[in-house]
Amino acid sequence: MKLSDFKYPLPRNLVAKQPVNPRDHSRLMVLNRADESIEDRKFYELLDYMNKGDCLVVNETKVFQARLFGKKEKTNAKIEVFLLRELNKEDNIWDVIVDPARKVRIGNKIFFDDGKLWCEVIDNTTSRGRTVRFNHKGDFFKIIERIGMTPLPFYIKREATEKDKQAYQTVFARVLGAVAAPTAGLHFTKQLIKKVQAKGVKIVPVVLHVGLGSFRAVEVEDLTKHKMDSEYYEITYDAANTINKTIDSRHNVIVVGTSTCRALESSVTSDGHVKPSKGWTDKFIFPPYDFKITDRLVTNFHLPESTLLMLVSAFAGHDFMTRAYKKAIKDGYRFYSYGDGMLIL
């Protein structure tokens, strides 16, 4: 398949700028791979597609306030520093993106929080990428949660507000480290989770810290030449054990989100089970692909030509997914992070 196979036109008015309230009342498009039928439901009706003995695998990564706004030393020029990932905890060294990049060189210092926090640029990585060292040695996340802003995706054309600190987190969020929310999880509410558990479905947490690579454009027509950004993931022994018992009992492993799916499919044994592991994955899933763990997939409506769209197309089938997206646009479904949901059976 080629990059151009995943291009589609989307009216701007279908890009959701705010989440539905309550979250589990968003729309849910249900795709059945067996007969290629499509149903229109509500997200809370996801329960109808779960059975006792199934497990629901979720990503418990938590988005941190990754956008910092500071001033360059001497000139006081305004600089945005977007935190990507921590490289060295002891020395507080980070990979970041700076804007405007032309004003930021190796050796420059950028000051935040009235000068109490600052960083020094120690290397260049890409045209806008830099490696920086922060002066703070204590609980760094505590500071940036106070002074930073929520890293809303670029397609939400508004400034982040205080409400986004909670709205752009899933109810599963526990482990700080993501710069983008695992958006399929945003539809769940505490009430819905209780109903899921009451039905005898086990909720299994894993971690994959979503990075900006989720939004990075694919720039090659030949998909085999695309290189994914590496993202950190963790699958515990308990999580793997629960998933494997579900597989052995022939119940469904229901996976919430493409990030969760990539974590699971990055850690597969030769006999089709999950192995406990942690580390970095750059796994790129696109058609055709033989999914080893995922039986059912909960997802959102994704950007044209994105790696996320490629993954769900690999799971549902490209032609079926194309038909589903055409229907979603015609029927006014809401797209992207704060938009509606999809369940692929």
Task: Map 103-135 to HEC letters.
Answer: HCCCCCEEEEHHHCEEEEEEEECCCCEEEEEEC
CATH topology (fold) of 67-147: Thrombin, subunit H (2.40.10)
Domain boundaries, the chain: 3-63+165-344, 67-147
Ordered mean pLDDT values, 10 residues apiece, the chain (345 residues): 94 92 96 98 98 98 94 91 89 92 92 92 87 88 91 84 90 94 96 97 97 82 93 97 98 98 96 96 95 98 95 98 98 95 98
Are 67 and 150 in contact by the 8 Å Cβ rule? The answer is yes
- Rg (the chain; Cα; Å): 21
Tokens, residue 36: 């290629």
Q: What is the pLDDT of residue 88?
A: 86
DSSP for 121-178, please give it.
EEEE-SSSEEEEEES--S-HHHHHHHH-B----TTS-S---TTHHHHTS-TT--EEEE
Q: What is the pLDDT of residue 21?
A: 93
Phi and psi at 251, nearest 5°, equal -100, 175
Exposed/middle/buried for 342, CB within 10 Å: 0-12, 13-18, 19+? buried
Q: What is the pLDDT of residue 252?
A: 98
Question: Which region, left, alpha or beta, applies to residue 128 given φ > 0 means left and ψ of -120 to 50 means alpha?
Answer: alpha
Are 223 and 286 in contact by the 8 Å Cβ rule? The answer is yes
Are 91 and 116 in contact by the 8 Å Cβ rule? The answer is no
> SS3 for 201?
coil
Q: What is the pLDDT of residue 154?
A: 81
- Helix 318-330 vs helix 307-316: crossing angle, to nearest 10: 110
pTM of the shown model: 0.91
| 90 DSSP assignment | T
Homologous superfamily, domain 3-63+165-344: QueA-like (3.40.1780.10)
The reply to whether 3-63+165-344 and 67-147 are identical in fold is no
Where are the extended beta strands (E) located within the chain? 27-32, 37-42, 55-59, 61-63, 67-72, 78-88, 93-99, 109-112, 117-124, 129-134, 175-178, 202-208, 231-235, 253-256, 277-281, 296-300, 341-344
Q: What is the pLDDT of residue 157?
A: 79
First to last CA, the chain: 23
